[in-house]
Structure 1
Amino acid sequence: MNPDQYCQEKCAASGSSFYYSFLFLPPERRRAIMALYAFCREVDDVVDECHDLSIASTKLAWWRQEIDRVATGQPQHLVGQALQAAGRQFNLPAEQLLEIVDGMEMDLQQSRYLDFKGLSLYCYRVASVVGLLAAEIFGYQDRRTQKYAHDLGMAFQLTNIIRDIGEDARRGRIYIPMDELKQFNVPAADILNGQYSDNFTALMRFQYDRAQQYYAQALAELPAIDRKNQRPGLIMATIYRTLLDEIRNENFQVLHQRIALTPVRKLWLAAKTWVRG
């Protein structure tokens, strides 16, 4: 198996909505974005699948070394080899790849966030940095597109937090800021134990509104000259905002289930958004 095949299989196997936004790209950009996404999956899997903190830390340290090897032309992993090839064509700074690892390591160090400021740093590292790297791969002419990519990454991660709140709770993690739990009078124990309430619904509507604000802000920031090149991000925004509305329509019943769109619906949304430009 060559690096491109490995990355494609890693992306497809994840079942992520991101995969559908890659399908319409030219081959060289599709290979590069799949390399980036496969890297994100590799380091995220370390945190989610490795229950021994010391082993997980060791594995993340190995990926830091692999990023150095990518920069010096000696990667060992198939994903590293794919990233090296992508880096020859597109600007993928090692510093930003390392920030993604920093974000994953935050999951090993803490399972709560006191306020949105703290959560924002986490979201920046695991999502906004990915958005900035993706914008480089897709191509842009106006530097304001970087602000769009940053805020769209925030919106995606806030959507993930809403969607995965029950799944994360079963891992002992709560990404809703503690001061907001207190503001809406939702004990952390209610989330950990899957207890719904009117207060929980109000808390989730607050999270929903903030995510939607980030989507609106990001889309308003995208310069017209870069809209065509950044269509993969627009596809993701369409899919994720549709998912967010589905969660709202289900009255935020996310503690006991993971609400998702079907692959056919994702593909239809992706095609419609690509054609619309």
Structure 2
Amino acid sequence: MSQLRRDYKKCERIIKKNSKTFYKAFSMLTNEDKKNAVYAVYAYCRYADDIIDQSNDLAALNQLKKELDDFVRNEEVNNFIFRALLDVRKKFYQDFDFKPFYDMLEGQYMDLNFKPINSLEELRNYATKVASSVGMMLTPILAPNGNKEKLDLVSYHLGVGMQITNILRDIGEDYKINRIYLPSDLMSKYNYKISDLAIGLINDDFMNLFNEIAFTAKTHYRIALENMDVFPKEERQILTYALVLYREIIDVIIENGYDVFSRKQSVSEMRKIKLIKEYTINE
């Protein structure tokens, strides 16, 4: 097995371990180059995310930014993620400016120097950095000949929808590491206090707060879904699967009494199979 093949295999293991939903969706790609490229992009994003979530390590984040700078300047970066990304660059990123890769890092710096989120607008700005950026990394791979403006529109809305879903699912987990992503103006609107959050209180105020943020996420999902026709059929199908499987997390949380404090809610395999059947494109 070649070095490059080993590098891609490492990237595949990262997505398989950390996101069953994304792996289930993107492993359906029939084009091996596209599939490997998605795995490499995911590995980069996961590595950046883990630096903050697991170790809050400024030096490691600065080192990753330096490696990205070197990579963009065509200097050799000798680790498996950037070796894989070099191959991705040759195949898909000939005229790419790598801004989304920097946006992702900017989002991680925001987490490192965490400041409370005051409004939905601030929440969307954060989500654009850490999640919409991922879509913008993937669109040259998934739809190299697509309309860039429309591709960016889908990336923006899908990324924001998914990140808000993450935030809703991880409310309890994030509070334990002193991060509150719930907009403070909405917490005030529904009279839900940080002291309520501290004890994991699920009451009408919390449910109303959750529902308003969930409605925002579902609005972003709807706009993304309405514009999916910018992608070729196979890629459109896979992104649709990813969208509906992720969106379903919100409904699972609600069905389980809005419990985002005692366990991490997820979509069952049986439910995933049902959704995949329901959203299969027949043309």
Instruction: Tell me if TM exceeds 0.5.
Output: yes
* Equivalent pairs, count: 273
1:136/1:203 Cα in 2 relative to 1: closer, same or farther (>3 Å)?
same
SS at match of 1:213: helix
For the 8 Å contact 1:142–1:225, the answer to whether it is kept is no
Which residue does the alignment assign to 1:206?
A: 212
**Match status 1:90 vs 2:92:** yes
Match of 1:14 among 12, 18, 43: 18
Where in structure 1 are there 5+ consecutive unaligned residues? none
Q: How does 1:98-247 map to 2 (within 5 A)?
A: 98-139=102-143, 140-143=145-148, 144-223=150-229, 226-247=232-253
**Alpha-carbon shift at residue 105 of structure 1 (Å):** 1.1
**Alpha-carbon shift at residue 224 of structure 1 (Å):** 5.6
For 1:215 and 1:28, how far apart are their aligned partners in 2?
27
Which residue does the alignment assign to 2:66?
A: 65
For 1:59 and 1:223, how far apart are their aligned partners in 2?
39
For the 8 Å contact 1:172–1:192, the answer to whether it is kept is no
The RMSD of aligned alpha carbons is 2.0
The two structures have a TM-score, normalised by structure 2, of 0.89
Which residue does the alignment assign to 2:254?
A: 248
For the 8 Å contact 2:237–2:281, the answer to whether it is kept is no
**Partner deviation per Cα, 1:129-184 (whole Å, 9 max, x = no partner):** 11122122111522312211211111111111111111111111111111110011
Where in structure 2 are there 5+ consecutive unaligned residues? none
Match of 1:77 among 63, 76, 79: 79
**Partner deviation per Cα, 1:244-268 (whole Å, 9 max, x = no partner):** 2111222311122211123564466
SS at match of 1:229: helix
For the 8 Å contact 1:20–1:266, the answer to whether it is kept is no
For the 8 Å contact 1:208–1:244, the answer to whether it is kept is yes
For the 8 Å contact 1:215–1:237, the answer to whether it is kept is yes
For the 8 Å contact 1:20–1:270, the answer to whether it is kept is no
The two structures have a TM-score, normalised by structure 1, of 0.91
For the 8 Å contact 2:37–2:88, the answer to whether it is kept is yes
For 1:276 and 1:135, how far apart are their aligned partners in 2?
23
Identity over the aligned pairs, expressed in percent? 25
